[in-house]
């Protein structure tokens, strides 16, 4: 019997990354009050009861609603802001990212964002890592996303964008961050600043027919979830507040059998290569191993019950894995 044609998956959107030529520290100084918050840092243990204030978002925007039905890995496009962390948790996260070892080693600038704190890892950010990996947070984010998620990679866990108001008033609707697709399937953006009096700061999404839809930005302790790998979006400039500090954690599907179009385009120019390629290769090899185990189990079961070998199914599996391996060859450069 001839093998049936394997369905060729739709190609995901092309991502454009910063043109920065490698990890670069910012030139911008941080205000003294931020440095002082970090000097007061004392490690505390993450405690889900004390540090989480979980609420469902008032509204979810679906992929169908924004004209992108069938794209991506679930029907959730984005959420309205929802309560996630308690004030005590936000205070601790701020102290951790402003602590002296993090500020001296983990500040970066790129052609996309002038002031970032990232790649501090679980040793310098234990509270933040425990929070993002806690079963309660993952269950909540996954429920909103409509697909079970895990943090995509340690080095993209708790990435922080810092914007300090230096007196400039934002032009309404002007984007602080140009139009782009993310490199990771889902993103959760949590606000670490008091946004009382803030104007702007929304996320704009481009719908399937080219219209622009705005999603309200999160306030302190609240978060939004978005399927940024498949939706073109931009962060609109904020004004009326002294600072806007947002924590961005990227997610990928937990189930190794779910389509995974994670790429490193956005991370490569601002991340130390050896660490990035180790973490990426480690998770990808685990996915390949788990997919192979699942395929192996299937063929063994058929054989055990005396069923004929399913050539089409094996060809489909191998074709998918070939594309997965080819995408890795494109990333490891
Ligand atoms: Fe984004």
CATH number, residue 56 = 2.60.120.620
Q: For residue 297, what are the domain limits?
A: 283-331
Residues that place a CB less than 5 A from ion ligand 1: 182, 228
- Answer whether 0.85 is exceeded by the pTM: yes
Average pLDDT in the 215-243 region? 94
Q: Are residues 107 and 215 in the same domain?
A: yes
Give me ligand 1 centre to Cα 252, in Å: 14
Q: Quick check: helix, strand or coil at residue 312?
A: helix
CA of 3 to the centre of ligand 1 (A): 41
- What is the model's pLDDT at position 22? 87
Same domain, residue pair 167 and 229: yes
Q: Is residue 125, in this structure, part of any structural domain at all?
A: yes
* Rounded Cα gap, residues 247 and 137, in angstroms: 14
When pLDDT is averaged across residues 236-265 and rounded to a whole number, the result is 96
Domain contains 20 = no
214 CA → ligand 1 middle, Å: 14
Question: How many of the other CB atoms lie within 10 Å of CB of 139?
Answer: 13
CA of 261 to the centre of ligand 1 (A): 15
CA distance 35 to 309: 64
Q: What is the pLDDT of residues 91-149, one digit of tens each?
A: 999 999 999 999 999 999 998 888 999 999 999 999 999 999 999 999 999 999 999 99
């Amino acid at each position: 019997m001839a093998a049936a044609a394997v369905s060729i998956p739709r190609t995901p959107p092309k991502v454009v990354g910063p043109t920065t030529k490698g990890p670069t520290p910012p030139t911008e100084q941080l205000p003294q009050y931020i440095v002082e918050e970090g000097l007061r840092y004392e490690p505390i243990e993450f405690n889900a009861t004390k540090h989480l204030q979980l609420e469902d978002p008032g509204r979810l925007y679906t992929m169908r609603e924004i004209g992108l039905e069938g794209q991506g890995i679930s029907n959730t496009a984005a959420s309205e802001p929802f309560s996630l962390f308690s004030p005590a948790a936000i205070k601790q996260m701020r102290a951790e990212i402003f602590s002296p070892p993090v500020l001296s080693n983990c500040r970066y600038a790129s052609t996309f964002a002038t002031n970032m704190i990232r790649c501090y890892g679980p040793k310098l950010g234990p509270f933040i890592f425990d929070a993002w990996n806690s079963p309660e947070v993952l269950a909540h984010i996954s429920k909103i996303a409509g697909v079970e998620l895990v943090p995509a990679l340690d080095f993209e866990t708790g990435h922080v964008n810092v914007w300090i108001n230096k007196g400039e008033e934002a032009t309404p609707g002007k984007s602080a961050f140009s139009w782009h697709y993310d490199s990771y399937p889902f993103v959760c953006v949590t606000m670490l600043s008091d946004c009382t009096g803030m104007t702007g700061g929304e996320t704009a999404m481009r719908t399937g027919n080219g219209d622009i839809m705005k999603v309200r930005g999160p306030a302190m302790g609240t978060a939004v979830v978005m399927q940024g790998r498949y939706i073109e979006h931009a962060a609109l400039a904020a004004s009326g507040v002294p600072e806007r500090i947002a924590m961005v954690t990227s997610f990928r599907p937990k189930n190794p059998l779910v389509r995974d179009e994670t790429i490193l385009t956005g991370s490569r120019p601002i991340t130390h290569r050896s660490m990035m390629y180790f973490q990426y290769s480690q998770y990808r090899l685990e996915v390949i191993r788990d997919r192979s185990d699942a395929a192996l189990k299937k063929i063994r079961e058929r054989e055990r019950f005396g069923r004929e070998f399913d050539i089409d199914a094996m060809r489909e599996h191998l074709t998918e894995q070939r594309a997965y391996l080819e995408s890795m060859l494109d990333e490891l450069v």
